Amino acid sequence: MNDLPPQSDAQGLLSDRLRKAMRRMPGPVSLVTTHDPADDAPAGMAASAVIPVSMEPPSMLVAVNRQSRCHAAIEANGKFCINLLATDQAHLVKTFATSALREERFNQAEWEYSGSIPFLPAAIACIFCDVHTTLVHGTHELFIGNAYDVRLRDADGLDPLGWMEGGFARFGAMD
């Protein structure tokens, strides 16, 4: 399904350098979840490519590899939830980032459902979206979703989970 042209040596070098540069850019860690109508089961993935797009209308963007099961599920369902993780939820990431552990993903924590969409009530925030626009670029598809619900955990003691240099990072406020 990869319909990209072959890379020249220069393009390969540029891709490697960009990958190294992006490893240096800290980002939040999320679990993107949905319901897969094909097998009537929850689906999800670990993601750091998640950004707010606009407050009017409230919307979010997630970048999803087109080869992933989660991509097919979001495409078919038209809904997803972004679960922003705290540092005490780092153990969930490996399960959601490893295809071989797919069957264990929703057995590792207390999940609830809003309609058919699974969400992690202990997450820092859960942002529920309806897919509004998509854009295919290279190996990924960008899903822009309009938020229809946001659930926030109590703000006391928030310790958001980050990702940088191929490992977990801790974010904190600067005084």
Residue type, 120: L
> CA 92, 110, 71 angle in degrees (round to 5)?
55
Give the pLDDT of residue 156.
Answer: 75
Give the pLDDT of residue 167.
Answer: 84
Give the pLDDT of residue 158.
Answer: 82
Give the pLDDT of residue 6.
Answer: 59
Tokens found for residue 53: 């797009």
Give the pLDDT of residue 4.
Answer: 56
Q: Which among 38, 62, 58 has a CA at the least distance from the CA of 50?
A: 62
Tokens found for residue 119: 């969400």
Q: What whole-number distance in Å separates Cα of residue 13 and Cα of residue 118?
A: 40
Half-sphere exposure in the Cβ direction for 156 (13 Å, CA): 0
Q: Say how far residue 33 (Cα) sits from the centre of its chain.
A: 8
Give the pLDDT of residue 72.
Answer: 96
Handedness of CA 10, 12, 17, 22 (dihedral sign): positive
Q: Tell me the pLDDT of the chain (175 aa) as tens digits.
A: 455 555 567 777 888 888 888 888 888 999 999 999 999 999 999 998 899 999 999 999 999 999 999 999 999 999 999 999 999 999 999 999 998 998 999 998 999 999 999 999 999 999 999 999 999 999 999 999 999 999 998 877 788 998 988 888 888 777 7
Q: Is the preceding peptide bond at 57 cis, omega within 30 degrees of 0?
A: yes
CATH code, 48-82+118-154: 2.30.110.10
Give residue limits of the domains in the chain: 48-82+118-154
**pTM to 2 decimals?**
0.88
